[in-house]
Amino acid sequence: MSRSLLITGASGFVGGALARHFSAEGASVRGLARSDHAAASLERLGLRPVRGDLEADLAPVIEAALQADVTIHAAQVAFEREPFVLQALCEALAGSGKALIFLSGSGVFMQRTQGAWSSDTFAEHDAFVPEPLALHRVVAENIVRAAGDKGLRAMVIRPPVIWGPGDNGPVASIYRSVGLTGSACYIGEGLAAYSNVHVDDLCRLFALAIEKGTPGAVYHAAGGEIPYRWIAQAVAGDLGVPTRSLSMDEAGEVFGPFGALLQSANSRSRDPRTRMELGWRPEHTDLLSQIGEPRLRALAAHSPLETTHDNA
């Protein structure tokens, strides 16, 4: 018998990929939509929209979750709002035996190193000092994990950087830096690194967690890891431009304040529980396989140096 799913964030990059994955597997998928435009987008994908708003009115979301076998919370809401949303979902679904999966992220243990490398890596059970910006997310994770003892198959999946077709991740950001500066930019020494995972591998992990995940569990998903300077060097080689190290102030101008924070920080994860308990293995492990994609090269189109490399 096919499962029914509710996916919040179904119009986003990850939520959309999850919706398409489970729909292709024969599941009945409903996606949360805040607007008529979002609802129409979901309908074009063959999904049934649920009109609701995680920021303003949870009642339709709760009702849809009660009707679904599985609820995946993949929407991006303000960090301070996440505990309220997850608490409401957990309380409504307690004792139902249904599955609830919270898409968190390895940013909870991000380390601000201004581009320097850190030897620290974190597995699912390792203690960590939370990133200050993610304190509310850690609270939300704990709410979900505790609900695993209340008749709910509640789990947390904590991926690192997620990449794949159409993403706006670190490779795209560095191509974009060429369009702004004429150089492929990194921050400081450029040795900071986030682990990464391909979106298709992440979708398979969600399927495995639904099938046999443990209530209250946290699962990581590390498919690879590449320092930002290596990415910049690959982009520079593709476009025939130089690389350039930025200070934090310069990086804020090029990548934006939040982008500069992410691309100067370490968040290196390991996933022993995921691999041993669920049997998950990534199939796409080379983030640099994106180098040369036409959509990415187009981001550097305004570089003063790019005009001589249009066909590179």
What are the tens digits of pLDDT across the range 65-97? Answer: 999 999 999 999 999 999 999 999 999 999 999
Phi, psi of 199 (to 5 degrees): -60, -35
Percent of the chain with pLDDT over 90: 86
Q: Over 80: is that where the pLDDT of 308 sits?
A: no
Burial class of 150 by CB neighbour count within 10 A (0 to 12, 13 to 18, 19+): middle
Q: Over 90: is that where the pLDDT of 309 sits?
A: no
Instruction: Grade residue 269 by pLDDT with cuts at 50, 70 and 90.
Output: very high
* All residues at 6 or more sequence positions from 36 whose CB lies less than 8 Å from its CB, including other chains: none
What tokens does 182 get? 């004429």
Residues 5-22 have a mean pLDDT of 94
Q: Over 70: is that where the pLDDT of 258 sits?
A: yes
- What's the rounded Cα separation, in Å, for the pair 20 and 18? 5
Percent of the chain with pLDDT over 70: 96
Residues 127-155 have a mean pLDDT of 97
What is the distance in angstroms between the CA of the first residue and the CA of the last residue of the chain? 50
Q: Contact 87/145 with Cβ under 8 angstroms?
A: no
- Cα 216 to its chain centre, rounded Å, is 20
Q: Which residue has the higher pLDDT, 199 or 303?
A: 199
Question: Which residue in this structure is represented by tokens 């982009």?
Answer: 235
- What's the rounded Cα separation, in Å, for the pair 301 and 275? 41
Instruction: Grade residue 44 by pLDDT with cuts at 50, 70 and 90.
Output: confident
Instruction: Grade residue 4 by pLDDT with cuts at 50, 70 and 90.
Output: very high
Look over the chain and give the mean of its residue pLDDT values, rounded to a whole number: 93
Please give the helix or strand (H or E) that residue 33 lies within, else none.
strand 28-33
Phi, psi of 279 (to 5 degrees): 75, 20
Q: Over 90: is that where the pLDDT of 128 sits?
A: yes
Q: Over 90: is that where the pLDDT of 203 sits?
A: yes
* All residues at 6 or more sequence positions from 262 whose CB lies less than 8 Å from its CB, including other chains: 107, 110, 170, 194
Helix %, strand %, coil % for the chain, to 5? Answer: 45, 20, 35
Instruction: Grade residue 302 by pLDDT with cuts at 50, 70 and 90.
Output: low
Alpha-carbon torsion, ordered 155, 126, 80, 258, to 10 deg: -120
Q: Over 80: is that where the pLDDT of 304 sits?
A: no
